[in-house]
A = this chain, B = another copy of it.
Amino acid sequence: MTYRPLDAASLVEAREKRRVIDEEYYGLRYQRLRDVIHGVPRGTALFDGRTVYGYPQIGRVLRLDSGLAEQFEAPVWAEEKVDGYNVRIFRLDGELIGLSRGGFICPFTCDRAGDFIDPALFDDHPDLVLCGEMAGPGNPYMEGYPPYVEEDVKLFIFDMMRLDRPGFLPQAERMALAERYRLPQPEIFGRFELDQVAPLEEILLTINDDGREGIVLKEDSPRAKRAKYVTSNTSVSDIRLTAHEMLDLPPEYFTNRILRLVLFMDEEGLTRDAELHRQLGEAFLGGLFDSVRQYKEEGRVYHRYRCRFHSRENAERLITRLTATAKRSQVRIVQQRLEHDGGHWLLEFDKEFLRIGGAFGHLMGGGLVFD
C-alpha cells in the first residue's frame, strides 16, 4: 500500500482511457476516477484544482495468528470495524461535501455530516478530509448496521487525509485532532506488537459476543498498511440480513461468509453447537421465506428504507440519484413518503429487486431451469 500523487501525465492518460468521468451534481462540477490509476485510488475526485484522494481498498485476513506476521512489518493499531458505508467529508466554499467510495457526492452525507462535526474543525483545518463510516438503521444504502446505533445514523471517523495529498495523517495526529474537536470515532483498542496475537484474539471474542463487526489493523508506519478481520457472528448476521436478496447477490457472498466463520471459530477455539447451527440455518431460511411471502402477497420483493434529512431538497436529490442508477443494477426505487416529521424530513422509499421478482415469477410459474 503506497500512496501515489496524481500527476498531470497520469491524469492525461486516465482521461484518454476514459477512466476519468466529468460529473455535475449538487451544484458542483468535478472529475471522478472510476478506476485505480498508477496507484491512485478509484473514487479520487478533482474539484477545481483541489484533489480529494480516494479511500484505498483494504484487504482482509481470515486468520490473525498468521496474518499479523505475514502482512505487517511494524506494530499495528487495532480499531473497531464499523458496519456502515464509507464516506470522505471535506469543506468546499463553506459547505460540507460527502463523497462515496466511488467518488459520487452523497446528498444524504452532505445533509447530515454537520450533525456530527464541530464546525471549528474545518475553520482551523480547511484542507482536512475526514474518512469515516456512516452507520445505522437510518442510512439509505445498507440493511446492516451496528447493534449500538439503535436509530437514525451515526458517523465514525477512522482516518484523516488532507486535500491534494495522498495518504493518511499519522495515527497520533489523527487521534489528537479527534480528541480536540470531539469527533466521533470507532473504538480504538490499542497498539499491538506483531507477536501480541493472544490479546487481539481476546478482543475479537468480546466483540463477537457484542455483535460488533470486527477490527481494522493499521500499521504504525509511513506506509500505514491496513487489513481487516471480522467475527463469526458478523458472518451469520450478514447472511441473516441478506438472505432475502439471495437471487440478487453473487452466490460467493454467502459461501465466503461461511468460510470466514469457520476459520474465525477454528482460530478462536470456538466449538460449533446446536445453537450456532440453528442460527445459521435460520439466517438462510428466514430471509428467503420472507421474500417468497412478499412475492406471493405483493408480487414484488423489496426492502423499505427510512432516512431523515434536514433539507427536503437533499431527500429529493437522493431519490433522483438512486433512481438514475437503479436500472443498471436491476432495482427499482419507489418513493413511499416524504414529509416533515419532528424537525426532520422523513423519506421512505422501497428498493425493489427486479431480478428476484423475475426469477420468482419464472420459478413459481413452473418454469424450467437447467443447472
Contacts and interface: CB of A to CB of B under 8 A. Distances in A.
Interface of A: 57, 59-71, 227, 243, 246-247, 250-252, 254-256, 258-259, 261-263, 265-266, 272, 274, 276-282, 284-286, 288-289, 292, 363-371
Contact of A366 (B68, B278, B367): B68
26 contacts: A57-B370, A59-B368, A60-B368, A60-B370, A61-B366, A61-B369, A62-B364, A63-B364, A63-B365, A66-B366, A243-B258, A247-B255, A247-B259, A251-B252, A251-B254, A251-B255, A252-B371, A254-B255, A258-B284, A258-B285, A263-B364, A277-B282, A277-B285, A278-B278, A278-B281, A280-B285
Contact of A368 (B61, B246, B265, B288): B61
Given A263-B292, A266-B292, 19 more contacts: A59-B370, A60-B370, A62-B363, A63-B365, A63-B366, A70-B366, A70-B367, A227-B368, A243-B258, A251-B252, A258-B285, A263-B363, A276-B285, A277-B279, A277-B285, A278-B278, A278-B281, A280-B280, A280-B284
SS class, residues of chain A in contact with chain B? helix
A365 B62 CA distance: 9
B246 A259 contact: yes
A125 to B, nearest CB: 32
B62 A369 contact: yes
Q: Which of A66, A68, A281, A285 has the most CB of B within 10 A?
A: A281
A262 B367 contact: no
Contacts of A282: 272, 274, 277, 281
Contacts of A254: 251, 254-255
Contacts of A69: 366
